[in-house]
Structure 1
């Protein structure tokens, strides 16, 4: 068995017609030489056939698979839904977790539902909204949901940290939405960086920031790896997310 070997661009480009017709195979152009490689099937057998005893695993495909998993696991919707209850629980116990659940339902659940409806109807390409031109509607829905959540939490007397966290979400949207109308700044990077800053308020700061920086770097790598963003776009997203969140928390007296 040959593991980790890479075929030349010419070999990959000459994939057989039978493989191209396979329902599970989609060709995508490689970064070098304009060759073609399969996006989903990861093995080639003898004679160029899929399967067989001698399989070749392409490192590029393994990297793409990892990037997709990171993108899904650390998507903005996931973090916005998971982070407030976790922060509330750590800072204020179970009552704080309940407040956090309310915040996540409004700030994360409502926009996620809007996106899901858009994907199902075909108006959106995926829950990541890769097409920048399609982002405006879901983002405006997110602004409305976060603004409503902020009003509800403030009026009902939610813990100060959660109010500050939701305010930071609104401030980050106020900065990133005008940018994304002209340039595809990374929301994955912005939300992941902002989440790290908030978690550093309730967990040991230095270890949290160090581990969080590694996670943010992984998210940035995944978005660039999938060709959904450029390095500049993920760097800008991470910087905006971190600075806006830190500035908002500082305005609430939290540093």
Structure 2
């Protein structure tokens, strides 16, 4: 006698990832936030000349890091450009910090606007804190970068910039939906980005 058919729950481990969440994570990744904030801050600091410094900053803080990550990805050092494994981030973050520090040194030598130097210094400070936390716990870099960027834009352009904060929540949702982070990790990343960027940027600008 054939036993009755029983329904089994879907295998969540092999279920396809949410497409919209992937689009959000990729479209609002740290590189894109960094490019946007450096150009906007450059315009605020010194109009067209400042935008030139924004392009320099975007190269060192956004483009070089992603090239470094892609280089490691091609060689199998880490999985993808979002560097999911915590232990891999302990290798990636110091490499990014070197590029950001080089940007600050270049800006100091060639007398960049102080507001731009403050912006990049705040980014470096956030990386230091993220690295320290990452030694024991995986925190969301996506929400840290997006949150810190909006806080610094609010100091420069006014509190209306904080109206874009729902984008940070959307980024956090995407990271949880893709199971790359827990809710706690995206919330801590959000708080960490703002709490680090605000004092460093205001002190140095």
Normalised to the residue count of structure 1, the TM-score between the two structures is: 0.73
C-alpha deviation, 1:204, in angstroms: 3.5
Q: Partner residue of 2:195?
A: 243
Query: 5+ residue gaps in structure 2?
Result: 1-6
Deviation string for 1:96-138 (max 9, x for gaps)? 1001111111112221111011111222111000111111222
Q: Partner residue of 2:4?
A: none
Residue 49 of structure 2 is aligned to residue 95 of structure 1:
yes
Higher relative contact order (CA 8 A, sep 6+): 2
Q: SS of the residue aligned with 1:135?
A: helix
Q: Partner residue of 1:157?
A: 111
Deviation string for 1:121-176 (max 9, x for gaps)? 22211100011111122211111111111111112111111100000001101111
* Rounded Cα–Cα distance in structure 1 between residues aligned with 2:157 and 2:202: 17
Give the root-mean-square deviation of aligned CA atoms: 1.9
* Rounded Cα–Cα distance in structure 2 between residues aligned with 1:202 and 1:147: 22
* Rounded Cα–Cα distance in structure 1 between residues aligned with 2:84 and 2:173: 16
Q: What is the aligned residue count?
A: 200
Superposed counterparts of 1:227-238, under 5 Å? 227-238=179-190
Aligned residue among 190, 204, 209 for 2:162: 209
* Rounded Cα–Cα distance in structure 1 between residues aligned with 2:46 and 2:77: 41
**Runs ≥4 in structure 1, deviation > 3 angstroms?**
10-13
Structure having the higher Rg: 1
Q: Partner residue of 1:128?
A: 82
Q: Partner residue of 1:189?
A: 143
Q: SS of the residue aligned with 2:200?
A: helix
State whether residues 45 and 116 of structure 2, in contact with CA within 8 Å, keep that contact through their aligned partners in structure 1. Answer: no
* Rounded Cα–Cα distance in structure 2 between residues aligned with 1:140 and 1:252: 23
Query: 5+ residue gaps in structure 1?
Result: 1-9, 14-28, 31-35, 40-60
* Rounded Cα–Cα distance in structure 2 between residues aligned with 1:167 and 1:133: 25
* Rounded Cα–Cα distance in structure 2 between residues aligned with 1:238 and 1:153: 28
* Rounded Cα–Cα distance in structure 2 between residues aligned with 1:104 and 1:138: 18
